[in-house]
Each structure stands twice: as C-alpha cells, then as structure tokens.
Chain A
Amino acid sequence: MKTSTLPPIPKPPSRIKSYLTFALIVLLLWSSGVKTGADFLKLADGLPNIGRLLGEMVPPDWSYFSKITDAMWETIRMAVAGTTFGAALAIPIALLSARNVARSPFLYYPARFILNLVRTVPDLLLAAVFVAIFGIGPWAGIFALTLFSFGLIAKLTYESVEAIDPGPLEAMTAVGANKLQWIHFGVVPQVTGPFVSYFLYTFEVNVRAAAVLGLVGAGGIGLFYERTLGLLKYDKTSSIILFTLAVVLIIDFITVKVREKWL
C-alpha cells in the first residue's frame, strides 16, 4: 500500500453552475425570440426596404430646415425649463435622502422610495400621461422632463452628499450651528460642483429626450417625425434627424467644455 503524505490535489471547482447559467441564458433568449417574432429572414427581406429608405433620405431637404427651426428652439426651451424645475425640486429630496444629513431612517427611506418610484416610469410614457392631463403642447413635455430630471438629479446628488468630508460638518456642529446653517456652510459648498455637473448632464439627456417627446404630442420637434414619415417625405425626415444630431452635438460640446473649465 502506498500512502502519500501530500495533501490531495484540489478538485477544480464544479462547472455545473456555469453550464446551468449558460443554458438558462440560451433558454431566455430563445423564448424572447419566439415571443417577439424575431425572424432574421424577415430582416434580410427588409434590408432592401432599409436600403431604399436610406436612399430616399439623401440628399436631405435642406429647405425644410427653416420650417423646423421654431420647433427646434421649442425643444431646447423645454429641456431648459424641465431641467431647471426638476433640479429645484431635487434639492430638498436629495438632502432628505442622504443618510448623513437626514440621520433618521424614517426620513431617508421614504425619500429614497419616492425617488426609485419616479425613476421607474420612462420619460416618454410620463409625457403621454401628462398630455392626457394637460392637453397637447410643450407644457406636458416640460412636466414630464421635470419629473424625470427630478429623479435623476436627486439620486446623483444624494449619493454625492453621502460621500462628502465629515470634517466641516463636525466643525459646524461644534460651533453650535443650527440645521440650516449646518447645511448652508457644511454641505452646500462641498456639493455645488457635482450638483452643477449633474444639472448639465441631465440637460444633455433632456435635450435628446425632448427631441422625441413630440411623438406623443408633448411639444418640440418630435411632432415632425410622424408628419414627414406619414407623408413618406423621407428627405424631410433626414433633415430633422441631421438638425437634431447637430444641435445635440453642439450642446454636448458646450456642456462638456463648461464642466471641464469651471467644475
């Protein structure tokens, strides 16, 4: 009999778990394919359609630009208004959600619950609901963007507030500051930079969102997509797309520069 004093060679970790995960993912994707009627033959059949569509989109109808400039300005105005209202609403709830400011779980858990709830409903569906409430027009879109920005800015801001340096806060407590002074001199100077940065980021997101809100009647340039696609004027559709891309890129460029320079 041969006895070994060496410990046995460790067994490699079981592969069963990975195989099961893999099988599960394949099953998930396969059933999704069945559910959505995914058919890549249909896509292959559709490719000539796409080609024809793209062919009709060039050259874009340059003269259409003058017709949609007003709608484009309205889109940007909606984004400015929505982001501003949302940011204003976000400040109190962000402070309430931050563990190091609100202190009590009875304050910060409900506040975070509201935030999570707001962030589940996508912006375009919010806009559809607000159109039903307030009627067709940019204000329905502004309210949708307000609610959306509120959720986004408040979440990002409260996470920054929780990450601030506790030193100034302790100093403020030590000199006997009341809660408002404590926030004003201890918290605000530390989060102004991130807050403005989140504001600008949300503004970028909102310009993109505002450009499609018109599809449900909530104002802005999105209205013109249906108008031009419905009339099969694809050269006009492509001018809308190009105009939107140009405006989005310019605004992104400006906000990135502002963030780099001042924040």
Chain B
Amino acid sequence: MNRTRSRTWLALAVVAAVYVWAFYGLPAASFKETAGEVTGNIVSGLFHPDWDFVYLPDGEDLLRGLLDTLAIAALGTFVSAVIGVPLAFLAASNQFKRKWYSWPGKAALSFLRTFPEIVMALLFIVAVGPGAFAGVLALGLHSVGMLSKLYSESIENMETGAMEALTATGANRIQTIRFAVIPQILPEFLSYTLYRFEINVRSAAILGAIGAGGIGTPLIFALSTRNWDRVGIILLGIIVTVTIIDAISGYLRKKLV
C-alpha cells in the first residue's frame, strides 16, 4: 500500500518535472498581429474557394496535383510491397530454425520505419532530381518498414494445419505454398497494402512541400503568395480526395478480411 503510493507520487513528480521543463523552455507564445486577419482569410477562402483552379488548360492545377499525389502514393505502395514481401520472410521468426536469425531483418525494418520519409525524399532529390519520382522512391523505401513488419507478423501467425494436411496428401513444396500459404496470407497482405496506401496518400500530399511532386507544391506556393482562395480550394481538394480514398479502401478491406 505504502509502496504503491510512493510510486504514484514519484510518477506524478516525474510528469510534473517533464511539463515544467517543456513549457519553461518554450518561447512565450507571440503571434503576428495579422494572425486573426489571416485566419479569417483562410476560413473565407474555404467557403469561397478559387474554383477556376480546379482545372486550368495549361499546366499546374488542382486535378493534376491530386492525380499526381495519388500516382505517387500508388506507385510508392507498389514498390514497398514488392520489396516488402521477400523481406517479410526474412523477418519472420518461424521461417528459420533459430529465432534470432530473423533479428537482422527486424532491425532493418525498424530502422526504415524510424527514418522520416521526408528526409528520405530530400536525399532522393539529391540523387534523381526534384519531382514526383523522388517522392515515389522515398515513399516506397519508407513504407517497407511498416508494411513488411505487418506482413512478417501475419506470416508468424499463420496456421500450420492446412500446410500439414497438404503435405500429408503428398503435395510438393510449391503446391503447398500455392494452396495452403498463399490463400491464408493473401487477404491480410492485400488489406495491409491498402491500409498503407491510405497513409501514403497523406504522405504524398506532404512531399510537395520540399519539391517532391504532388499537391503540396501548389499549396505552399499559394500560402507564400497569400492567395487564400487558392489555399481554400487546395485544402478542400485534399480533404475530399482523402475522404473518398479512405472510404473506398475501407470498403475493400472490410470485404477482404
């Protein structure tokens, strides 16, 4: 009783210390005097969006920006699935005789997960130049971290019954994989891939902020030129697109699993 109580007090003291440290070190909140005005402008931009920007006959418009974003997300997800499947078998502990053989694979995946995708995009921009392709590569490599981890977990949790049954009927290794392993893991793999696609759509929208293609570029440009109606239509475009993608992908995932 006494011990749990002193532990509670200790925990509270630690939390209090963290907060004192955090807020004492932050600069006092000081806002530009135009803050209210700009907020008003952005809100009014959301309600009076620049509809003309939706489609411009020549070049950078909303639809093309959004399509670019979706294309980056789709291709990035595909790249990460292609890299992720073989890596998943290397990171699944039940694929080896000794458990720790899977540790290097697991460590590599956790490194990829921690490495921020936007920093990866910065590095790929140095390598292949600015543009959507750098975004694809960054998303593709970063998503492997999460996607392959989920794949490997589903391999680890696989039922062995069906495999044993097929082996008992005299099926060879390839037939076992075709009729026992793939039917079991495929729905989960597809479901995870769709889920990652939803996340990647959001990430792809960000990448434009550093010049890696997609809808982020016109948004940053509109913000810096104070074109609030255009900011409004771009934000609306992102909200609508993400909502639709989430709805479709959620429906498909429900059907899959």
Contacts and interface: CB of A to CB of B under 8 A. Distances in A.
A29 interface: yes
A122 B206 contact: yes
Interface stretch (B54-62, B89-97, B159-167, B216-224): B216-224
A28 to B, nearest CB: 6
Contacts of A241: 115, 119
Interface of B: 11, 18-19, 21-23, 25-27, 29-32, 35, 38-39, 42, 67-68, 70-72, 74-75, 78, 111, 114-116, 118-119, 122-124, 126-129, 131-133, 135-137, 202-203, 205-206, 209-210, 213, 216, 219-220, 223-224, 226, 231, 235, 238-239, 242-243, 246
Given A39-B133, A120-B242, A211-B116, A49 B127 contact: yes
Nearest to A208: B116
Nearest to A252: B114
Contacts of B210: 215
A139 B202 contact: no
A47 B209 contact: no
Given A81-B23, A122-B205, A36 B115 contact: no
Contact of A77 (B25, B72, B133): B25
A73 B25 contact: yes
B33 to A, nearest CB: 10
A131 B32 CA distance: 10
Sorted nearest first, the 5 A-B pairs with minimum C-beta distance are A36-B132, A32-B71, A35-B71, A46-B127, A120-B242
B220 A138 contact: no
A137 B209 CA distance: 17
A121 interface: yes
Given A36-B132, A49-B127, A122-B206, 19 more contacts: A33-B75, A35-B67, A37-B131, A42-B128, A42-B129, A49-B126, A73-B25, A74-B26, A81-B22, A124-B216, A125-B235, A128-B219, A134-B31, A134-B32, A142-B26, A208-B114, A211-B116, A212-B118, A215-B209
Interface stretch (A89-97, A157-165, A243-251): A243-251
Contact of B75 (A36, A212, A216): A36
Contacts of B123: 50, 53
Nearest to B37: A133
A139 B28 CA distance: 9
A135 interface: yes
A31 interface: yes
A138 B31 CA distance: 11
A153 interface: no
Contacts of B22: 76-77, 80-81
A116 B132 contact: no
Contacts of B75: 29, 32-33, 36, 38
A36 B213 contact: yes
A188 interface: no
Contacts of B21: 77
B249 to A, nearest CB: 13
Contacts of A248: 114
